[in-house]
Amino acid sequence: MPARHLLLATLLAAVALPAQAQDGGLRLDRSDYFEAPGVNWLIFSNVNEGLFADAKISGVELIQQGVRTATNGDVRLAATPGQWDPSARFVSRRVDKAAGLIEAVMAYPDFSYTVRAERQGAAIRLSVVLDRPLPAAMVGRAGLNLEFVPSAYWHHSFLADGRAGLFPRHPADAMQLTAERNPASGRADGPGAEPLPFASGRRLVLAPEDPARHVSISTADGELMMFDGRNQADNGWYVVRQLIPADRTGTVLQWTLDANSVPGWLRPPVIAHSQVGYAPGATKIATVELDRDDSRLGEARLLRVDADGRTAPVTIPAATRWGDYLRYRYLTVDFSRVTQPGVYMLEYGGVRTAPFPIASGLTGTSWHLSNDVYLPVAMDHMTVNEAYRVWHGDPHRDDARQAPVNHEHIDLYRQGPTTDTRFSPGEHIPGLAVGGWLDAGDFDIRTQTQYQVIRQLVDTWEEFGIDRDTVAVDWNTRRVELHVPDGTPDILQQIRHGSMQLLAQYDAVGHAINGIVEPDVAQYTHLGDAASKTDGLVYDAALAPYQRVVDAGGARSGTPDDRWAFTSKSTALDYGSAAALAATARAWRGRDDAFADRCLDRARRIWDEEHARGPVVFRHGNTTGGPLEVEEFTAAVELLLATRDRRYAERVGALAPGMAEAFGMTATTMVRALPHMPADYRALVETAARRWAASAEAFRQANPFGVPITDGSWAGSGSVLGFGLTGYALHRAFPDIVDAGPVTRALDFIHGHHPASDRSFVSGVGAVSKEIAYGSNRADFSFIPGGVVPGVLILKPDYPENRDDWPFFWGENEYVVPEGAMYIALANAAHRLEAERQAQP
């Protein structure tokens, strides 16, 4: 038999045979999860952390041929639970490798249970064990669920007890009304609705035709049902479910889970590199990510592409072993000595990258989409138009109503025991419908975001003198036109827009507020045009629901869709706002002195009032400011830079020792004060810089990418950008202590040199980038150009993930405004360093 036919026959046999016949079984020896070639079953390695509720990272999870396709295997109280539906509290987990068993104890308020997973050859026997019968109120509600990501099963078939079907590309199932509102539906009031199953049987087989998605699920007794959660929420998954029977204890449910395994399967190599390309004189490091069972050391090749499309290999050093990180092996490819401009591709193990340039000035333009498109699209209270396209109309003209007291809200907002304003709960607070950026993929104005972005943009303006003008902003008509210059640098207009919201808060209530957010889940989950989320009319409780009136008192409506303002006072937020307004005053000085004076006057008054009164400490989530002393220090530095007043310098000096201990978050601010502080302050910062340099070097030993890679429910692009910007600031101040390496490594990471994939984390930037992301247009599986996503999420114990086929993973794919501003700064920092290298003799 010819070799190619023999290979084909082997592959076909691997597809046709059940997993038990292909392999001796699952192993539970080197990891705390079950594994076979191309199959990992994670059993409560990850649990819901509660920060943003259900993140689709919990319970029983399946990674098949390197892709996580199933999650949330657990007892749930709904067929298609949504983000805010209840889930059980994690109690304990036990792994018995000798017995081939993993079990987790979980608890709801009125019952607890054990989920037990046992190795059974190449399959998993999954059981739910109860010590006491299910409470009567839970009968018909509690069931064992396992969710499968829809994008992995589109264009695939399924079998239910032999009956064939195709997975629905778009949901269209029969629905039934429920007496209770289901949070997954997003309805603010009235009854909810739940889908009926689109398949059922004692044995379900998913994608029998595809060895990379082939999974079978069978139950010992009863019936399995398969639902489409997208009938209730765009981010819903396919759910396999079986109800727990009443009046039983012990093993009340038992499934057999069998995911297809292919002997000898190895994950294809991933060649992580910068999708934007490299400057001729820059360090050029690519990293080959390999399956941990792939012990081969192949040849890494660099190919140059000529004008006729022909490729020619370029001599580079052989790839070297870096070592193991998480679940993969890594090789390092250093082609720094290649300086000839041109188009190149990398190749390893049959995998070839997209083309990338070696050329000058790449980072001098890579930030343009973030400046020209992403930041303008994020502008609240403005219509944003791009040629024939309206990104959104003028939203939230009805801002905002006073939030109710003693209320914990969605998205980490909370109102304390008083309003801290002159307004009663539910009363309209005039003057807030101006300025600000929509926080992320949702539609709230988070004050902490506003002042962070303002300060970052001012730093960028002052450091690099950016004068790019491609966006026209008219606050009188509340309209933004992309790709239309108007004579004012775009970055200054963005600074002003954010500061207008901060000033409005002080004019309205006298202090910084936590933020302005949607009143209910229905509006919070709104996708599409932000202007269609509310009617734009101030709510009037005297009107009938949905009634609209236009009279001498203005336009009002009886629809309570206005956003809520959370106004509990926090001194940390006031200091952060003072810092941003002082910075804005510097940026606008000489262009609009009246506006600059207004910002600086407010910043000074905030400082004086807070020091006269003493701090008000109100903490909740991530909406009430950073550490108090850090925020005060930042305000002192920005006021010092704006005024040269020595009383601010004295406070900078007094706070400096504590700031040196928190140097990771204060370094760039401490450096900015150096020209205005005495020698002992510089000595303190220099000592901290030496410690930071040592920690930066340690990252090069910790992972193949040489940057801080975070774990948790939110990925770490922001930490990487902050690392690069800190490195730049310290390199400028202490070039003999901190080199420019952190800038290069951080920017390369954002551009594609990272674990799990080679995608650029800046949408539309680089040959291959995040083109399916968590923005306001995520339901369209699209992106916002220039937005920066959180990036690589590390799932415990060892799985790095960034999905390109499912935008709804907010921890991996959700744009947030600060990262866009940070990226603009870091790209300009790299461009400045490149220009200085070229200028050297």
What integer pLDDT is reported at residue 51 of this predicted model? 66
Count of CA atoms in the C-beta half-sphere (13 A) of 370:
30
What integer pLDDT is reported at residue 7 of this predicted model? 35
What integer pLDDT is reported at residue 441 of this predicted model? 84
Q: Is 772 helix (H, G, I), strand (E, B) or coil?
A: coil
What integer pLDDT is reported at residue 13 of this predicted model? 35
What integer pLDDT is reported at residue 440 of this predicted model? 81
What integer pLDDT is reported at residue 305 of this predicted model? 98
Token pair of 771 as six digits: 């083109």
Phi, psi of 643 (to 5 degrees): -125, -25
Report residue 181's pLDDT band, with 50, 70 and 90 as the boundaries. low
Give CA torsion, residues 162, 164, 165, 167, to 10 deg: 60
Residue 637 contacts residue 601 (beta carbons within 8 Å): no
Task: Say yes or no to pLDDT of 737 above 90.
Answer: yes
- Domains in the chain (CATH in brackets) are 3-259 (2.70.98), 270-360 (2.60.40.10), 367-618 (1.50.10.10), 678-841 (no CATH)
Count of CA atoms in the C-beta half-sphere (13 A) of 803:
24
Task: Say yes or no to pLDDT of 185 above 90.
Answer: no
Full 3-state SS string of 650-713:
HHHHHHHHHHHHCHHHHHHHHHHCHHHCCHHHHHHHHHHHHHHHHHHHHHHHHCCCCCCCCCCC
Report residue 187's pLDDT band, with 50, 70 and 90 as the boundaries. very low
Distance (Å, whole) CA 561 – CA 540: 11
pTM for this structure? Answer: 0.95
What integer pLDDT is reported at residue 224 of this predicted model? 98
What integer pLDDT is reported at residue 573 of this predicted model? 98
Query: Starting at the edge strand that comes first in sequence, how are the strands of the sheet with 285-291 ordered?
Result: 270-272, 285-291, 328-334, 320-325
Summarised one tens digit per residue, pLDDT across range 112-168 is 999 999 999 999 999 999 999 999 999 999 999 999 999 999 999 999 999 999 999
Summarised one tens digit per residue, pLDDT across range 683-707 is 999 999 999 999 999 999 999 999 9
**CA 692 to each of CA 37, 664, 680, 731, 745: distance values in angstroms, whole numbers, following the listed order:** 42, 8, 18, 11, 15
Summarised one tens digit per residue, pLDDT across range 600-658 is 999 999 999 999 999 999 999 999 999 999 999 999 999 999 999 999 999 999 999 99
Task: Say yes or no to pLDDT of 5 above 70.
Answer: no
Distance (Å, whole) CA 794 – CA 183: 28
Summarised one tens digit per residue, pLDDT across range 285-328 is 999 999 999 988 899 999 999 999 999 999 999 999 999 999 99
Summarised one tens digit per residue, pLDDT across range 408-454 is 999 999 999 999 999 999 999 999 999 999 988 889 999 999 999 99
Task: Say yes or no to pLDDT of 382 above 70.
Answer: yes
What integer pLDDT is reported at residue 600 of this predicted model? 98
In sequence order, what are the residues at sequence separation of 6 or more whose Cβ sits closer than 8 angstroms to the Cβ of residue 718? 790, 816, 818, 819, 822
* DSSP, residue by residue, 329-388: EEEEEE-TT----EEEEEEETTEEPPPEEE-TTGGGTTTHHIIIIIHHHTBTTSEEEETT
Q: Are strands 538-539 and 554-557 parallel, antiparallel or unpaired?
A: parallel
Q: Looking at residues 719-723, what average pLDDT do you find?
A: 98
Residue 444 contacts residue 514 (beta carbons within 8 Å): no
* DSSP, residue by residue, 249-270: -EEEEEEEEEE---TT--PPPE
Task: Say yes or no to pLDDT of 730 above 60.
Answer: yes
Full 3-state SS string of 46-107:
CCCCCCCCCCCCCEEEEEECCEEEEEEEEEECCCCCCCCCCCCEEEEEEEECCCCEEEEEEE
What integer pLDDT is reported at residue 24 of this predicted model? 57
Q: Looking at residues 188-196, what average pLDDT do you find?
A: 73
Which one-letter DSSP state was computed for residue 622?
T
Report residue 11's pLDDT band, with 50, 70 and 90 as the boundaries. very low
Token pair of 570 as six digits: 């926090």
Distance (Å, whole) CA 42 – CA 210: 21
CA 166 to chain centre: 32
Closest among 617, 626, 619, 615 to 579, alpha carbons compared: 626
Phi, psi of 184 (to 5 degrees): -65, -25
Distance (Å, whole) CA 360 – CA 345: 17
Summarised one tens digit per residue, pLDDT across range 31-78 is 999 999 999 999 999 998 766 778 899 999 999 999 999 999 999 999
Distance (Å, whole) CA 565 – CA 404: 9
Report residue 192's pLDDT band, with 50, 70 and 90 as the boundaries. confident
pLDDT averaged over the chain? 94
Residue 767 contacts residue 293 (beta carbons within 8 Å): no
Task: Say yes or no to pLDDT of 12 above 60.
Answer: no
Summarised one tens digit per residue, pLDDT across range 321-355 is 999 999 999 999 999 999 999 999 999 999 999 99
Report residue 207's pLDDT band, with 50, 70 and 90 as the boundaries. very high
Residue with the larger pLDDT of the pair 817 and 183: 817
